[in-house]
Amino acid sequence: MLASLVIESLVVRPFLLKGSGVNTDKLAKMDLNLLVSLQVLIEEKSVTQAAIRLHVTQSAMSKILGRLRQVFGDPLFVRSAYGLSPTARTAQLETELRTILQGVSKLTAPPCFDPGTANHNYRIAAIDSTNQIFLPDYLPELITQAPKMSLEVLNWQEDSLKRIEQGDVDLGITARDYDELSFVSLQKLPKTIVQMPIGDDHLVVLMRQGHPISGQKSAWDLQKYLSCGHIQVCCEGKNRWLLDQVLEQQGLQRNMVLRVPDFQAALSATCNTDLLFTTTQSFASYACRLHPLSVEQLPLAVGPTTFLLLWHQRHHKDPGHTWLRETIHQEICDNHRFDH
């Protein structure tokens, strides 16, 4: 019922309607609760019954009617044997008033979202590797549920977090370390960024099949790992990762022969050279399905990394954004076995 619509202390200020062609000076003096009260009076045709519905005293309701008469410059109601009878002015207002209050009610109602009719374009910034391993998981479901929606997938870059904060990017798909030593630790995310963990992953070593190291009978160890040349993917403007920081604490370092901007370039180099590529288990599994590669465990204790969905807190309760991130999260988790 319209009487249940409460707009506490909501007064239309002139600056809000500047340039709209509306008489803002007059509106600035009106409490929108008066319009709700007028609607209830029209429906009840009784000050007493209107007071009951609005949970005010009869005296307060009479004062409200007095204020309404001042605002509209009309008695609005006259007493009759059947209660309050609307004046011609009130009868004129009735239809338009109902339309206005229904509009306000829609304005204050919780937003709804129907993926079947949504035509929004969402921008997702994602680490290059996640496009290879996760995009095939969630894209078919998004297309099925929201055929009119469009996606723009951008490479995760050094300014991606800033772009999420500024509203230029809707959602991030990236990875962060638990260890505070890391340049990209979870603790270093801005407070305005909300995170949804997808799952934890660990590092492994990729090498081409037939690599000289893999053919040796002696044990695979850190010394052999460091004796090889290595490939590093540069992401977020960084050339060194937690692995390198852990090695540095032991007075060790990798021989970084090749630095590339993306995972596909690293994969191509791994397939065609004796260089080693240290990456996540999930990407290594993807790579081994497509190329003649071998996987070895990393011969060094390095904490896990976690894949995350990131978004700005302004989108946290938006129904469309909620549907997007929950659908992506569910589809990825359904297709990959991560630790949570």
pLDDT by position in tens, the chain (length 340)? 333 333 333 333 434 444 445 555 655 666 778 888 998 998 888 999 999 989 999 999 999 999 999 888 999 999 887 788 889 999 888 888 888 887 777 666 666 789 999 899 999 999 999 999 999 999 999 999 999 999 999 999 989 999 999 989 999 999 998 888 887 888 888 999 999 999 999 999 999 999 988 766 677 899 999 999 999 998 877 778 899 999 999 999 999 999 999 999 999 999 999 999 999 999 999 999 999 999 999 999 999 999 999 999 999 989 999 999 999 999 999 998 776 5
Q: Which two tokens stand for residue 217?
A: 């009978």
CA distance 319 to 326: 10
Determine the length of the chain.
340
pTM above 0.75, yes or no: no
Exposed/middle/buried for 152, CB within 10 Å: 0-12, 13-18, 19+?
exposed
Taking CB atoms within 8 Å and a gap of at least 24, the contacts of 94-99 are 94/42, 97/35, 97/38, 97/39, 97/42, 98/2, 98/39
Say whether domain 203-297 belongs to CATH 3.40.30.10: no
**In this structure, which topology does domain 2-108 adopt according to CATH?**
Arc Repressor Mutant, subunit A (1.10.10)
How far from the centroid of its chain's Cα atoms is residue 1's Cα?
34
Beta-sheet pairing, 121-126 with 171-177: parallel
Instruction: Please tell me the CATH code under which domain 121-201+305-335 is placed.
Output: 3.40.190.10
Q: Tell me the C-alpha distance between 13 and 10, whole Å.
A: 9
Domain boundaries, the chain: 2-108, 121-201+305-335, 203-297
Domain 2-108 shares a fold with domain 121-201+305-335: no
Q: How far is CA 57 from CA 45, 54, 61, in A?
A: 16, 9, 6
